[in-house]
Amino acid sequence: ILSFQVVGGKVKKPGKRGRKPAKIDLKAKLERSRQSARECRARKKLRYQYLEELVSSRERAICALREELEMYKQWCMAMDQGKIPSEIKALLTGEEQGKAQQNTTKLAKAGKTEANSSNP
């Protein structure tokens, strides 16, 4: 006949199943706990350092974007007054020079291929 014991609101069976409670040295258990806590604090410290670096890099990016936005606002205000900012002129002339260089390069390449094809 099976007999049951009620311990702390749980029914205990008399059979010995599962792991036996090993007699763990209390000092070793405390040392493992301390080591685990040290590792946890180290991980937490690294995580906070990473997040602080991330926040500071994002703040720098925001400042740079705000400066760029302010520059564009000033350019727009100048153009509304009929003035063309020198930076925009430089960009436009730089693009025109770039296009001219591309065209001359294309023409030079076309000329070389024509010269090569005419000489058998």
| Count helices and strands in the chain by DSSP H and E runs | 2, 2
- Its pTM surpasses 0.75: no
Question: Cα(first)–Cα(last) distance of the chain, in Å?
Answer: 109
CA distance 97 to 17: 86
Q: 6: pLDDT confidence band, cut at 50, 70 and 90?
A: low
pLDDT tens-digit series, residues 23-33: 668 889 999 99
pLDDT of 44 higher than 60:
yes
